[in-house]
Structure 1
Amino acid sequence: MSEHVPSRSARRLPWVWIVVILAALTGGTYWWLSDGGQQVAPKKPQGGMTPMVPVRVQAAVSENLDIYLRGLGTVTAFNTVTVRSRVQGELVEVLFKEGESVKAGDILARIDPRPFEVALDQALGAQQQNQAQYENAKRDLQRYQTLRKQDSIAPQLLDTQAALVRKFEGLIKSDQATVDNARLQLSYTTITAPIAGRLGLRRVDAGNLVNANDPAGVVVITQTQPIAVMFTLPENDLPAVREPMLGGQILAVDAYDRADMNRLAEGKLSSIDNQIDIATGTVKLKAEFANQTDALFPNQFVNIRMKVRTLQNALTIPAAAVQQGNRGAFVYVVEADDTAAVKPIKIGDRSGERVVILDGIKVGDRVVLEGTDRLRAGAKVRVIGAPSASGEPNNAARRPAGASGSARP
């Protein structure tokens, strides 16, 4: 019986069909994922237009710019005095109202004067007794001098009488000092204001016994007209302050409130401390304010702006337009064809929201203030609130993009 052996072509047939089926499945899957066999292309803006970046710009201008230094300060009374009694006694009268303004010499309170009046009378009585003995001793000395010329008494008696007269002269001087001291103690029973200023709260009431030089005192007076402000500046700003002061220039100082919004008073710089604080790297300065309206109050926190100089015809732009990159400071400038360009700049002084540009741009260049986050060099821009360079409104049909954008510095 003969054995049937399949041919080689018959053995290969199943594998061929397997390959064909797999190829058909792969093609069908690709056709389905490619949206009906059509090739998926990247979407482009309609009409072949690239989107414009909306920005806000401001032109660089030449102007006179006042340079200010800023610091944090504390209002300090020009003089602060704790009014104390200089003698001990009963406080019989308080003649001031809390918070009122007083002048130097105004009577504030009185202490019972009777014990001091008695002491003054005693001193005057002792002075009169010694004065009488002194006058009698002088008359005796005159008699002794006459008798001595007649050689009627011994020289020793004349010398003794002369010494007695000098003794009473010394007693008279001592008595006069005692009388003066008694009068002085009596004057201390009337408490007066040593300086002009504003009174604080009363610290003792009438009827209490007050002691001499009591630390609490009777009341505190603060001189608020004029008033001072102590503030600090970084040591790097010290040359900008010292140079005009050495030249005799008076530097204007403005005090603003805690929010740095409202100007409270105008004054002038009066002095600079003689050393720099090594812990903070700052120097203390003192400014004086007339404070006629009492806008400044002792121990009040204020913001200080001090004008140190004025730059003439300086090229300035808003500080918000300045960007920082790997190569330093730069700005985006909108060219005449409404494309953005990157311009490296060299920055000078800054005052408030304006910054001086030493190099990189010129007067009239439009620098970008807002919209820089999506901006690149060469990108088309749409200036908000202004017509384009061609005179067409910015919301008109957008023009084709120019050169491709480069990486941001």
Structure 2
Amino acid sequence: MAVTAVLIVGGGLGVGSSQRTPHGVIGFAEAAGAVQATEVGVAVVNAQPVTERQGYSGRLQAIDDIAIRPLVSGTLVGVHFKDGSLVKRGDVLFSIDPKPYQAEVDRAAGVLAASQARVAFASADAARAERLIASNAISKRDLDEKVNALRETQANVKTATAALDAANINLGYTRVKAPVAGRVSRAELTVGNTVASGASAPVLTTLVSVSPIYAAFDVDEQTYLAYLCCSSGAPVPVSLGLANETGYSRSGVIDSVDNQMNSGSGTIRVRARFDNLDGALLPGLYARIQVSAGRAHDRVLINDAAVGTDQTRKYVLVVDEQERAQYRQVELGNLHDGLRIVLSGLQPGERIIVNGVQRVRPQEKVSVQTVDMANLSPSIKPAA
């Protein structure tokens, strides 16, 4: 009876652990079917021509930024511009009382006229002495004195001429003019104030050029080596966006690169030039600058949703021909039109999981639903 019970129990277990089919006996797990494959969204990897770019932050700078100071002393008698207005080169901005300087011009002109008269007399006297020396009517010493007197008067004429020129220059400085075209600030001193001259003189106003305009920013070593150091003289294109813009509304070129790298920060100073014909760009504004490599190269682009992080490494899950997920480490670059550039690790034509990466393990079988790489389909319900 004991043996019979064991056989009965064993037979019962056998029925529960196997099942007979027309093709033979299979295990219970196989009879129940394999674990249901996880449903995921899969996109095909493609390569596209990409012009690589790097973004930086900077500030706008005027090409000409001039502090207008008086070059002669005197009393301001006129302010000839409105605060913040645009002026042309040579426009009169301030007037200083010209009367003392006009008087100096008149005095210098009189001195010059007297010197020229003495030259005429000394020239005639020297010519007379030349005729008399031929007949021994005067001594050689007398002739030398006449010639020397003529030379002195000629030198005095040069001195008087220089003094008159200086007086005219100072008279011209009484009209303070714009050295370049641009936009003026407000008048710091008004009519009736007395001003002094020299480098320590008070600033009357400031003047900045409008167009073109600079954008100054610092570039890291990698960008310098990739984009700026080997441009072969061709202009490096850049784009500019303002703080209230999402894109880059203006195009320009790199104007200058500094002559040394800052070893402390690992950056180098760069300046780009942009047209500003509408005058909307003001010095000091915050600017977003995007540096372009210039030439387009075929690059693999993927959606950031497909990228996973494994400690310090980035990876994607590639779907093979058996519909199984395969771990693949990748090296990533910058964003381009919303997609991430893949520098290495993927080839065009491969399929990667873009929806459901966190629900799949390597070597796991998946149920594929094809989606577009750029515009992912709505979220897929996780497997039960």
TM-score normalised to the size of structure 1?
A: 0.76
Bigger shift: residues 203-212 or 308-317:
308-317
Shift in Å at residue 187 of structure 1? 0.5
Distance 1:262 1:358 in 2: 25
Q: Deviation at 1:96?
A: 0.8
Which one is further off, 91-100 or 358-367? 358-367
Partner in structure 2 of residue 290 of structure 1? 275
2:314 matches 1:329: yes
Query: Which of 254, 261, 276 is the aligned partner of 1:276?
Result: 261
Which runs of structure 2 are paired with 1:146-165 in the superposition (5 Å)? 146-165=131-150
Q: Give the 3-state SS of the residue equivalent to 1:178 in structure 2.
A: helix
Whole-angstrom distance in 1 between the partners of 2:277 and 2:361 = 55
1:31-180 superposed matches below 5 A: 56-180=41-165
Give 1:350's match in structure 2, choosing from 327, 334, 346: 334
Distance in 2 separating the partners of 1:94 and 1:111: 9
Instruction: Verify: 1:241 aligned to 2:227, yes or no.
Output: yes
Q: Deviations over 1:188-222 (max 9, x none)?
A: 11111001111112211111111113543211111
Letter matched to residue 194 of structure 1: P
Deviations 1:235-267 (A, max 9, x none): 12222123542x232211001223772324210
Change (3 A) 1:98 1:327: closer
2:82 aligned partner, one-letter code: K
How big is the shift at 1:98?
A: 1.3
Q: Distance in 2 between matches of 1:260 and 1:382?
A: 40
Write out per-residue CA displacement over residues 334-366 of structure 1, whole angstroms, 9 at most, x where no aligned residue. 5677x6613313426434443343554443444
Distance 2:42 2:201 in 1: 64
The aligned length equals: 343
Q: CA deviation at 1:94?
A: 0.7
In structure 2, the CA distance between the partners of 1:242 and 1:382, relative to structure 1 (3 Å rule), is closer
Offset from partner CA, 1:310-330 (integer Å, 9 cap, x none): 443332212442223269432
- Quickly say closer, same or farther: Cα 1:243–1:318, change in 2 above 3 A: farther
**Residues 75 and 96 of structure 2 are in contact (CA less than 8 Å); yes or no, is this contact kept in structure 1?**
yes
Look up the SS of the partner of 1:130 in the other structure.
helix
For the aligned residue pairs, the C-alpha RMSD in angstroms reads 2.9
CA offsets, 1:69-106, max 9 Å, x none? 22221111111111111001111111111111112111
Contact 1:343 1:361 in 2 (8 A): no
Instruction: Output the CA distance in 1 between the equivalents of 2:350 and 2:126.
Output: 107
2:167 partner amino acid = A
| Structure 2: tracts of 5 or more residues without a match | 1-31, 373-379
Letter in 2 for 1:240: A
Question: Partner of 1:218 in structure 2?
Answer: 204
Distance 1:174 1:117 in 2: 19
Q: Which moved more, 1:307-316 or 1:93-102?
A: 307-316
Q: Cα–Cα, structure 1 residues 71 and 379, in superposed 2: closer, same or farther, change >3 Å?
A: same
Structure 1 residue 286, shift from structure 2 partner: 1.1
2:238–2:254: 8 Å Cα contact kept in structure 1? yes
2:42/2:368 contact within 8 Å kept:
no
Take 2:184 and 2:88, find their aligned partners in 1: how far apart are those partners? Answer: 10
Is 1:228 aligned to 2:187, yes or no? no
Contact 2:215 2:272 in 1 (8 A): yes
Query: Is this contact kept in 2: 1:75–1:229, CA < 8 A?
Result: yes
**Higher mean displacement: 349-358 or 288-297:** 349-358
Q: Quote the residue 2:3 is aligned against.
A: none
Three-state SS of the structure 2 residue aligned to 1:143 is helix
Q: Does 1:191 align with 2:191?
A: no
Which letter maps to 2:54?
L
Structure 2 SS opposite 1:276 = coil
Q: Give the share of equivalent positions with the same residue, in percent.
A: 26
Corresponding letter in the other structure for 2:327 = K
Cα gap change, 1:54/1:110 in structure 2, threshold over 3 Å: closer, same or farther? farther
Distance in 2 separating the partners of 1:395 and 1:275: 56
Equivalents in 2 of 1:100, 1:71: separation in Å? 32
Whether the aligned pair in 1 keeps the contact of 2:325 and 2:366 (CA below 8 Å) is no
- Kept in 2, the 8 Å contact 1:332–1:340? The answer is no
What CA distance in whole angstroms lies between the structure 1 residues aligned with 2:214 and 2:75? 37
Deviates more, 1:347-356 or 1:262-271: 347-356
Distance in 1 of aligned mates of 2:57 and 2:324:
40
Aligned-partner SS, 2:219: strand
State the alpha-carbon separation in 2 of the partners of residues 359 and 181 from structure 1. 72
- Residues 169 and 285 from structure 1, CA distance in 2 versus in 1: closer, same or farther, beyond 3 angstroms? same
**Secondary structure at 2:259 match in 1:** strand
Match for 1:257: what amino acid?
L
The answer (yes or no) to whether the contact 1:70–1:233 under 8 Å persists in 2 is: no
Q: Which structure's CA Rg is the greater one? A: 1
Q: Does 1:201 align with 2:186?
A: yes
The one-letter code sitting in structure 2 at the alignment partner of 1:216 is P
Q: Unpaired segments of 5 or more residues in structure 1?
A: 1-46, 387-393, 402-409
**Maintained 8 Å contact 2:302/2:339:** yes
Q: What CA distance in whole angstroms lies between the structure 2 residues aligned with 1:130 and 1:357?
A: 85
Following superposition, the deviation at residue 370 of structure 1 comes to: 4.5
Given that residues 137 and 165 in structure 1 are in contact (C-alpha distance below 8 angstroms), is that contact kept between their aligned partners in structure 2? yes
